[in-house]
Amino acid sequence: MSDIQQLTDLTTQVRRDIVRMVHKVNSGHPGGSLGCAEFLVCLYNKVMDIKLPFTMDGKEEDLFFLSNGHISPVFYSVLARRGFFPVSELNTFRVLNSRLQGHPTPHEGLEGIRIASGSLGQGLSVAIGAALAKKINGDKHLVYTLHGDGELQEGQIWEALMYAGANGVDNLIATVDYNQKQIDGPTDKVLSLGNLRAKFESFGWQVIDIEKGNDIVSILEGITQAKSYVGKGKPIGILLHTEMGNGVDFMMGTHAWHGKAPNDEQLEKALSENPETLGDY
């Protein structure tokens, strides 16, 4: 079986995990989770050099920080399917006293989670600190982040962007989930982000677009291109053009499923579009 087929099968299973987790507790954020499934599957299963068992210090391995923590369903699924913790634990999503709460935290040593990311806008600052620490320690590994485009309406993001550019943090690759939708509607109507590429570049960043942000081959090619700029004096930004709710037809093309759980009938429809590939938890 080809790597692409394996990644495709894993993505399909992750989509099943997402909708089942959110449906069970009638709570969570399926839209952005589905939109980022291919990206995170590629990152954790093809791109990053990571160590298991998990250690908090992250020395001599690539690091990832999820800044838009509300898309925890996809993050938990990808981590579990990669072997950070048992896949069966996904059944405890958002259950009282579970380690898998709605926004990820390093609660009770939850493997794979290094920061709490419930409050938007903070992940880039943390990632810059981690990237600088790697430089100080002579660690050649990279730091990756993921952000929602609506999250870029937070002021702290722009302070961090300015700092990273001014200080040449060139072992950092920050990705924006550029689906142009947020909880209240299209980003252009809520608070327009303007020309993101031009803004990032004006802050001293190298920027690439992945136009097909839900296509595994395009994602891998785009990240390879991004990595070619590492060590050249600029932080790297990826504008990942995704579709919110990707893979579930009635969730696509709308912001309505940003934070809404499917009912029983909708769950069955979503699952029928994503046949079981690796086994449900």
Give dist(CA 264, CA 2) in Å, integer.
34
Asked if residues 222 and 194 have their Cβ atoms less than 8 Å apart, the reply is no
Q: Where does the chain have alpha helices with state H?
A: 3-25, 30-35, 37-42, 72-82, 123-136, 155-166, 187-191, 196-202, 216-227, 264-272
- 50 CB-near residues (< 8 Å, 6+ apart): 44, 61, 62, 82
Six token digits for residue 64? 């990832």
- CA distances to 138, 155, 269 from 181, rounded to whole Å, are 39, 18, 23
Q: Which residue has the tokens 């046949």?
A: 275
Residue 177's φ and ψ, nearest 5 degrees, are -75, 95
Helix (H) or strand (E) holding 237: strand 236-240
Give dist(CA 134, CA 186) in Å, integer.
37
Structure confidence by residue, pLDDT tens digits, 227-272: 999 999 999 999 999 999 999 999 999 999 999 999 999 999 999 9
Give dist(CA 200, CA 157) in Å, integer.
11
Query: pTM of the entire structure?
Result: 0.97
Structure confidence by residue, pLDDT tens digits, 125-135: 999 999 999 99
Strands 185-186 and 181-182: antiparallel
Q: What is the separation, in whole angstroms, between the first and last Cα of the chain?
A: 23
Bridge partners, residue 185, by sequence: 182
Biggest CA pair distance of the chain: 54
Structure confidence by residue, pLDDT tens digits, 65-100: 999 999 999 999 999 999 999 999 999 999 999 999
Structure confidence by residue, pLDDT tens digits, 15-73: 999 999 999 999 999 999 999 999 999 999 999 999 999 999 999 999 999 999 999 99
Give dist(CA 274, CA 263) in Å, integer.
17
pLDDT of residue 1: 56
What are the structural domains of the chain?
3-272 (3.40.50.970)
Structure confidence by residue, pLDDT tens digits, 208-233: 999 999 999 999 999 999 999 999 99
